[in-house]
Amino acid sequence: MNILKIAAFSDGERGGNPAGVVIQPTLPADREMQAIAAELGFSETVFAMPQGQGWRVRYFSPEAEVPFCGHATIALGAALAMHYGDGDFPLQLNQASISVSGQYQAGRSAPPCNHHRPAVHR
């Protein structure tokens, strides 16, 4: 399983708000998502899988599933752009439908609401 560690609102390798990002063909079981989030130790980890024309998304803190996380959504936008190219990505959350935009150019990600490159660690 490929787990990205992306800091939204960062200035390259400095600062930012880190989140774990997991993009898989199918979502892991609830217990596994919870265990991964706890092991990473970030305030939130986002899990995404393709669904229809968009993405099914769930967020987990180290303690429990949470309904939404802004910085993890921004990190997901950066990750989706790195993997699938620039675009607007529809997201289906547990209780809402939203979208996130992402851009990737020459090794630099530009998630929405952030004019700095996010720090990406693999």
Known catalytic residues are 44
* Integer Cα distance of 36 and 57 in angstroms: 15
Bridge partner residues of 56 (DSSP) = 49, 92
CA distances from 3 to 48, 84, 87, 95, 113 (A): 11, 16, 21, 25, 23
- Phi first, then psi: give them for residue 110, nearest 5 degrees: -130, 85
Secondary structure class of 108 (helix, strand, coil):
strand
Q: Which two structure tokens, joined as six digits, stand for 69?
A: 């996380």
